[in-house]
Chains A and B, each alone.
Chain A
């Protein structure tokens, strides 16, 4: 019963969040400067052609009616038609999703495989008054440098000096996995810098918090090996904030993918949205943002379930989270 109530609550709050996002994004795209007609049809279009375009896409109706029609369509799985390509937005998002998913998975993998060990290492080796400063500086830099700066730098260096990893020549994974990886490593690396830094910092803080717990002192007193202590006492107890962070990082990385995909010319959801914003392709922007919000919500639910599995005291049935 409690589980059912939890799921009901999450479903309701998720629906409310999505509804709020839908209102905000719908209003935001219409408040953007620059008319869709001039952008989509170009400067040579006549007033008649502009009116035809508006009628075709229902953009001549009152805004609240446009919103109602759009919301009804989206509820039925119809994300609308792109004014630029005149193709269904849903199909195009689906075609581009694998690129963004691959990029995100690679970036998350890098953040876990590098960020967690680095965080543990810097925590267990930290000494009072020394150490950790360099790590904090590096992670601070990693958090601070925006993707478009780092991405542009990487594109310049790796295009100017080749170095084997390709930029601007994306190949589908299904066509040639090796060539695909060669084109995805750099954007994934750029995207993961922030995530690695944050993961390392969070892991370090979490581990250091656990290190002072009595059960760790007791384990040391029992003569357990350092690896055994890390594995059995530290990692599991420090995992909750790290898992939560990684979950939210996935959603953050989807946002970062907008920039990285554009800079590296990857045909993912991010570059689709960036181009759509530039061309005032309303349906695409609305669907893209709604999709991102949906992913964020799903990730939050997964985090809650995962945290509950790691520490049942914090689980969905413990009555402490909803």
Chain B
């Protein structure tokens, strides 16, 4: 009998303690979102006392193989983490407005020259004052590096000190996205004196001017940041300690939010919002981003029908991006052209030439190309919502008589298949780009001579490349909008990479533990952009 009693006792004790701890279930309100200022999803309540520990959970750690060097960081998840310690000359504000950061202002005496006036009183976290030499050295180091961001920085001709506290950058030709490119982490200002004298290796040490300094990092486990007491922006950061836990499983992040283990978490699955619908004191918001999914069609695979522009056009026409947004992304994304939807100056995807045509036109083009019974494999990674997007693509193309076999694999296998060889071995593949903060920036990846990583599956299109360069030179305004529309039309016709739908970011936070600031829009995938403003309501 004793074992049975023991078992029953343990079970009863567990059940009793569990039931006693059950909290009330309430429906969250949209109060915070409704009351936020224009351009914001939430604004931190400044009446709350600063201090405390902020616990955040994200799904992935920094890219890491290249270390902590911000100039070599090439994915948004790494930018997000490094942005806590590093800062740029300018930053992205609400609605993608470029705002001062380490440069308190800038002059543009002509369309090729930028003079940045550095902010007074800025120090690195080791206490050394930021100088113009750090700025000049950082930008020169970036341009001399193998960073993918060199392609985004544009045609920089010269970088030089321009008197005390000023730096002049001269471009070879006008380049409108220049400030937006400077606003991202790879263009962060590094402690060049320490790097030059080799007392600091940026690959292993984070030493910046940002609001937080790293106290501890365990790869793929957690980061602990503490506030940079010497931070120039007085009163920030509000939280004394920022703990970031890496939790790859979305269910674990949701659980941590619900039980208070995390005050804020990023979510990837479009269904997560409904899973948290009844959770007490948890609010879920959707941040519109310029990131977007796109379909790669391999035109370099020997013998592939996809090398024929008519076949690619037929596929482009047959795709219903509205349906992809509605069905696969639960209505949270929106159709986009090569210029990300939502960015000022971006093209209207409904106005693209392919949007005006239907499955009959797709069938006609396939017949002309002798590809009536076209069949190909679509290679995707297994992270949601990619499988759902692929299924809608499969159904769309079936309407035009195209058979798509979906090949789903883990991200490493997917990377190997898509980027491992040249020419690449896949037929079609699904991926997404960060859309950045200027509509002309991501279009550069449509030129494989600039974006070498695409050279394994796409041919340069001289007309498209010329249109991209022309749009980069046009100053913001009607003429640039027309130039960008031309880029969109050219990319639409080329169809080696077909833009599909935007990729929104879902963020959840505990309203009883945190009052965060969050922009309504984001161009560099940085959910933590305003984390220095966040007020911790109580230590949990």
Contact = CB atoms under 8 A, between A and B. Distances in A.
A156 interface: yes
Contacts of A95: 218
Given A45-B453, A163-B22, A168 B262 contact: yes
A201 interface: no
Please indicate which of the listed interface residues A38, A83, A92, A185 has the most CB atoms of chain B within 10 Å of its own CB: A38
A168 B420 contact: no
Interface string B72-84: 0011000000000
B252 A53 contact: no
Contacts of B23: 162
Interface residues on A, range: 35 or more
B251 A43 contact: no
Interface stretch (B31-39, B253-261, B304-312, B464-472): B253-261
Contact of B57 (A48, A163, A168): A168
Contacts of A46: 146, 452
Interface stretch (B110-118, B191-199, B234-242, B406-414): B406-414
Interface residues on B, range: 35 or more
B414 A34 contact: yes
B144 interface: no
B253 A35 contact: no
Contact of A263 (B6, B220, B249): B249
Interface string A38-63: 11111111101100010000000000
21 contacts: A33-B409, A34-B409, A34-B417, A37-B420, A38-B419, A41-B63, A42-B63, A45-B453, A46-B452, A84-B220, A95-B218, A113-B6, A114-B10, A160-B258, A163-B21, A167-B256, A168-B255, A169-B260, A169-B261, A262-B249, A265-B252
Contacts of B66: 41
B331 interface: no
Contacts, number: 174
B262 A41 contact: no
A166 B253 CA distance: 11
Interface of B: 2-4, 6-7, 10, 14, 17-23, 25, 57, 63-67, 74-75, 146, 148, 204, 218-222, 245, 247-249, 251-256, 258-262, 275, 278-279, 409-420, 431, 452-453
A86 B67 contact: yes
A278 interface: yes
B417 A33 contact: yes
Contact of B18 (A34, A165, A267): A165
B2 A117 contact: yes
Contacts of A40: 65
Contact of A158 (B248, B255, B262, B414): B255
A159 interface: yes
Nearest to A99: B221
A88 to B, nearest CB: 12
